[in-house]
Chains A and B, each alone.
Chain A
């Protein structure tokens, strides 16, 4: 599967604001399944917007985003549970549920992992006993790890990570990255990661400056 961007530009940004971007306003830019992409930019340059455009939850852009034909016919929900997985910058977790329940809520839709697998993944990233605590009581870094685990609980052709390690120390980030990389490799998926500065946890094929 490929994701092709044609002359893409957020409506709320002027042409001068996006001039010099490797991505915005490019006549044709392709993301290919199986390759890893890094997108770097300073704050406010439209990193989150770009991933939201691709994920289909923000439509205020000019230009075109073309997913490979047979994938395009899927419904939005199928797209979000079978094709694209997204680790949101604001995490989109439910504070009223525990860490485990948050992941299960997603897994219920996809039936992709068993409860034991989910527990193992959470145990590997969270301190002992945290998986059954309400997300409201977890630190931001811990929540980020829960969101990462949740993003892996579905089949995907592309995994979108929006500043995934912003609240993690280097060692924890490395652990999370290894888990993510293993799943991406296993599924033969593409990876698109945004960050403020270049990160070295993944063997990126291409790095773009937004």
Chain B
């Protein structure tokens, strides 16, 4: 009887409006959430697509520094100043070998030899993973990492023009050669092999503990400091970074910053979309509350009469609460189905690039949280609006 009386009071157009706006808002929020979680490995640098908040920093080589090389090294003061910048998380130095180094390889009876240099960086900054990347003071084996670019230069430049065979990274790592180091009147020969190719650090690297030992053993007494630094940022999209390096005439690998910036922009865009979707949801809640308010105003007399003959505010608002709750739940289920369908469209494509995160948990959790919030808010307001009308009689 009560339902028969109240069914006629619903305003269909407004219910549909609520349903549609909530569906759009919820779908966008859930999709953004799902997309964010799917792309999370990408954004947190677990893949090599948007790589690293770490860059290599050196001083600009100018005509004045050509003559006086000392100016290329970072002083302790400069290092400290850089470390004190808010956007800098950590600074690591490149260590250079201060002894003489040459490498030699024997091939079909011919011996080829070349002068070379070594540097080292803390292992944490290295983008290769190899079990061979270890130096044992009792062993004659010395692992070496060279830049990926060297191999590319050879394969696509030199080998191409000289009609030489190309070399794969696997093949390269099979080649052994001798490394001669000397200094302080001492010398030593090592068996060496290239154990990895770094796409990030543009230098010939040996393990840091080896370099420290060898510098003590064979190197010059004077430590000139470092001419190159590895700098890790808190947030690579920080505008002050470019500004700082420009005013201090420091050279920075900008392309690495760009990808980090892109990740930050992507996060920002995502937040922006979520914010708009939340506003849409808020508007839909306002719409349903206004609609409820209009229903209460239009049917004020009916509600008051119902209350007068003994119906409580709960009895009177129950019908509206049930209708709004069912609409909300159905709407959110529709939004979940829609989001999962859209996810199905993009997930295959994404997983060809990288390992996507988390499954469908974000959508389901998001929908559950949204459902609880909306049910609480809508039911609370519905009860309040009706109580208000009755109390004002």
A-side residues, CB < 8 A to B, are 55, 57, 75-77, 80-81, 86, 88, 92-94, 96-97, 101, 104-106, 108-110, 150, 154
Complex contact A97–B4 (CB within 8 A): yes
Asked if residues A92 and B310 are in contact (CB atoms below 8 Å), the reply is no
For B278-312 the 0/1 string (1 means CB < 8 A from A) is 00000000000000000000000010010111111
Chain B residues engaging chain A, CB cutoff 8 angstroms:
1-2, 4-5, 8, 302, 305, 307-312, 315, 393
Interchain CA distance A75-B8 in the complex, whole Å = 29
Q: CB-CB < 8 A to A77: which residues of B?
A: 310-312, 315
13 contacts between A and B (CB under 8 A): A57-B308, A76-B312, A77-B310, A77-B311, A77-B312, A88-B308, A92-B305, A94-B302, A96-B4, A96-B8, A105-B1, A105-B2, A109-B309
**B315 neighbours in A (Cβ, 8 Å):** 77
B309 touches A150 (CB 8 A): yes
Task: Considering the complex, give the chain A residue whose CB is closest to the CB of B312.
Answer: A77
Q: A101–B4 Cα gap in the complex (Å)?
A: 10
Main secondary structure of the interface of A (DSSP, over half): helix
Least CB separation from A147: chain B residue: B309
- Verify A86–B5 contact, CB threshold 8 A: no
Q: Which residue of A is nearest B309, CB measured?
A: A106
Which chain A positions have C-beta within 8 A of B311? 77, 109
Closest 8 CB pairs of A and B: A80-B310, A81-B310, A92-B305, A77-B312, A105-B1, A109-B310, A106-B309, A92-B308
What distance in Å separates the Cβ of A84 from its nearest Cβ neighbour in chain B? 10
Pick from A86, A88, A94, A108 the residue with the most CB of B within 10 Å. Answer: A94
Nearest chain A CB to B221 CB, angstrom units: 94
Q: Could you list 12 further interchain pairs (A-B, Cβ under 8 angstroms) beyond the known A75-B312, A77-B311, A92-B305?
A: A57-B307, A77-B312, A77-B315, A86-B308, A92-B309, A93-B305, A94-B302, A97-B1, A104-B1, A105-B5, A105-B309, A106-B310
Partner of A94, one of B305, B310, B312, B393: B305
Is B309 a contact of A80 with CB atoms below 8 Å?
yes
| Bound CA span A94–B5, Å | 8
B residues within 8 A CB of A57? 307-308, 393
- Which of B2, B302, B305, B312 lies in contact with A108, CB distance below 8 A? B2
Residues on A with C-beta less than 8 A from B305 are 92-94
